[in-house]
Structure 1
Amino acid sequence: MTQSPTPAQPTPQPASLPTPEERRRLREAKSLTEAEVAVRVGVSRETVRSWETGRTTPRGRKGEAYAKLLTEPAPAEAELTARHQRAVPARVEADAVTSPEEAQPSEGADPVPPEPATALTPAQAFDALYAFCAPALVRQTYLLTGRRELARESVERAFQLAWHRWPEVALDRDPAGWVRATAYEYALSPWHRMRPRHRHPEAPPADAADRALLDVLLKLPPAHRRTLLLYDGVGLDLPETAAETEASTPAAAKRLLHAREAVAARLPELAVPEELHQRLAELASTERLRAAKSPTVRWVGERRARRWTRAAIAFTALLIGTTSLTLRMAPDHYEPSLAPGVAVHGLPPRAALGPLSPSQLKLHAKLKSQTVSGPARLVPESR
């Protein structure tokens, strides 16, 4: 009698592996692209995308490496955790000093719940988000604009606005995407063309291949350039790219195809999307772009907010003063206007000039008969 084969036991899924909905968010929170995750784990980019969409599940050693990459604390979080762990012994020593009578609850009293772990303050959470997103976001914005100073300024202004609206950003489903969209909108604003320093081009990259790729990117329309960067540079899928660019999915797909065709027409070696993604990452990494420190960004944002608040208060006070002065100087009683003119009838007509009288004729003859002396222009002429 033939025995039925024993069914293979499925490979256990890593216990610390996040849900598919959380995988992409954790990857973007660490400023990692799909290609970078694929290189670290040892799989293809399509495999990472299928893991994030939930079509497949990572298992075995690669699943453990993928889970560790997503869940391991970043340097900023590790520092906060270590700081909290250093504070625990001090709390234990303080509890040890307490007398047994004080530590023992009285009869009938409710038991004191254990003290919860110290949560991150808003400033600490903002600093962690800034440490995760700012370095990669500056490089992405440089590919979008081709200007180093504008890329730094765009990222700093986006994080300043995020700090100003931190309750809204902290509860957002994708804080990194919120900041990225804000930075891209500021970087692509047409008002930058009116700035004096924007009229002078910056120094191009040193490598000829990098210069050619950056020149092709900057000649694309802004919408196509942003779509190409989000899809082939950052690694977003098509619906997310369409949502961030405020376009429909078919429109985003057409923009992406047109952008790829334009790049492939100038640089045929970049017709493959994987090669284009690699070249974009290399071009961004060659530029040593660094944003300001997180405390500096928060301080500048707060100072700008105070300045605008004071300007608004001053403008409001000026408007109130002008209105009060106008009300005080305005007439407070009715002044009748002048009546329009009326024609007067019954007056005699104006008399015209008539013939000369005898005395006038005598004077006229006397003047003509006298000897003339003096300039010729004073001599009366007879007519």
Structure 2
Amino acid sequence: MKQSPSTPLPPPDERRRLREAQSLTQAQVAARVGVARETVRSWETGRTTPRGRKRDAYAKLLAELATEKNEQDEKEQKDPKEVTAGQDPAPVTIDLRSDALTPAQAFDALYAFCAPALVRQTYLLTGRRELARESVERAFQLAWQSWPEVALDRDPAGWVRATAYECALSPWHRLRPRYRHPEPPPADATDRALMDVLLKLPPPHRRTLLLYDGVGLDLPDTAAETEASTPATANRLLHARAAIAERLPELSDPAELHRRLATLASTERLRAAQPPAVRHGSERRARFWTRAAIAFTVALIGTTSLTLRSAPTHYEPPVAPGSDVRGVPKRVAPGPLSEAESKLREKLREESARGPERLQPTLP
């Protein structure tokens, strides 16, 4: 079937970028075109191509999204300080690389766009509200400390999301006293059942399921973010879906699972901190560790100098340990003289009493 020249389609990457620019999910695009969410995912990855009426409807929708994006770009060029909170990673990347925004403005735009949804996603990952907020805040603090690298990244939102997930799944949280007791579960019974099933999944499976069925990433992007191969990621996803379907059969449909995950995340009122507070907290943390490193270096230099100044300049060789000497008679206590020794003593006393005469030995 020959494609109609009146309905051209942009490349697959551009299709996804246009959808994300208007903060639309794949399910929302699928509902507007009249297809399944998996079909939109295949169109955006280039595995399949729409045809017929679906192609016309999809091309019309993409043209509308492109027009809306151009209008937003023109508005931002006129007033760079006005940045909407509904921007997605793709347009944020372009804005972050633009010279029109200061680093603080670009960071605030990224935070305003990503932080609210990321806190809800991290809550699904951990089941703890305070830990979700702390993990997201810590991820953005690290992003501000490495802002030149993050601003030039192809997907800064993905960079922050991966960092937040790593912070949330760190095993060191088990040692903190405040996290030894579970937090109150969701109020709704169905939400509690879903959260209980999610928390019983292994962390890699839980993260894969959240990225694929919750966030809406495709399989290669999910594998890249979880640092696993595509077959391993597919196996994790299948095992996670099977475990959920075994406990909750009504969620065996991926579309229904995606809807329930979105509902569970939106029911919790989770608020993130303000961007200036996150930036200031990152700067305070950086100053603290810088001062600590300087103090440790100064203390190390002072200790080394004191040691060099007080150390002796000459070392005497140590005394060798004693050793036995053979041929020397043993020392004995003085005792009575023998008869011969007594005669010799008397003779010496008699001959040396009259003057300093020298005794000369004579042969017997």
TM-score in terms of structure 1 length: 0.73
Say if 1:34 and 1:48, in contact at 8 Å, map to a contact too: yes
1:83 is aligned to 79
Give 2:187's match in structure 1, choosing from 186, 199, 206.
206
Seen in structure 2, the aligned counterparts of structure 1 residues 169 and 26 have a Cα distance that, compared at 3 Å, is farther
Q: How many residues align?
A: 313
Residue in structure 2 matched with residue 11 of structure 1 by the alignment: 6
Going from structure 1 to structure 2, the CA distance change for 1:314 and 1:22 (only over 3 Å counts) comes to farther
For residues 219 and 232 of structure 2, what CA distance do their matches in structure 1 show?
Answer: 10
Are the structure 2 counterparts of residues 34 and 61 from structure 1 closer, same or farther at C-alpha, using a change threshold of 3 Å? closer
Deviation at 1:40, TM superposition (A): 5.5
Aligned equivalent of 1:267:
248
Query: In 2 relative to 1, CA 18–300 (structure 1 residues): closer, same or farther, beyond 3 Å?
Result: farther
Q: Conserved in 2, the CA contact under 8 Å of 1:24 and 1:52? A: yes
User: Shift of residue 350 of structure 1?
Assistant: 5.7
Matched, 1:330 2:311: yes
CA contact (8 A) 2:22 2:65 kept: no
Structure 2 distance, partners of 1:251, 1:181, is 18
Q: Residues of 2 paired with 1:329 and 1:79: CA distance?
A: 71
Q: Which of 143, 146, 149 lines up with 1:162 in the alignment?
A: 143
Confirm whether residue 53 of structure 1 aligns to residue 45 of structure 2.
yes
Q: Structure 2 matches for 1:360-375, cutoff 5 A?
A: none
CA contact (8 A) 1:270 1:276 kept: yes
Question: What secondary structure, in the 3-state scheme, does the structure 1 residue paired with 2:313 have?
Answer: coil
Q: 1:213 to 1:296 in 2, by over 3 A?
A: same
Structure 1 pair 318–236 and aligned structure 2 pair: CA distance change class (3 A): same
8 A contact 1:232–1:276 mirrored in 2: yes
> Structure 2-normalised TM-score?
0.77
1:347 partner amino acid: K
Aligned-pair distance for 1:201?
Answer: 0.9
SS at match of 2:240: helix
In structure 1, what is the Cα distance between the partners aligned to 2:292 and 2:25?
Answer: 42
Q: 1:251 aligned to 2:243?
A: no
The Cα of 1:84 is off from its aligned counterpart by 5.1
* Superposition CA RMSD, Å: 3.0
Deviation at 1:83, TM superposition (A): 3.2
1:231 to 212, 235, 253: 212
Distance 1:70 1:247, change over 3 A: farther
Q: Is residue 29–residue 129 contact of structure 1 (8 Å, CA) maintained in 2?
A: no
| Offset at residue 177 of structure 1 (A) | 0.9
1:63–1:21 Cα change, 3 Å: same
Distance 1:85 1:296, change over 3 A: closer
Q: Alpha-carbon deviation of 1:132?
A: 1.6
Moved more, 49-58 or 308-317: 49-58
Q: Identity rate of aligned residues, in percent?
A: 73
Secondary structure of residue in 2 paired with 1:347:
coil
Counterpart residue number, 2:338: none
Q: CA deviation at 1:29?
A: 6.3
Correspondence for 2:329 among 327, 338, 346: 346
- Structure 1's unaligned 5+ residue stretches are 1-6, 87-116, 353-383
Contact 2:18 2:69 survives alignment (8 Å)? no
Deviates more, 1:343-352 or 1:120-129: 343-352
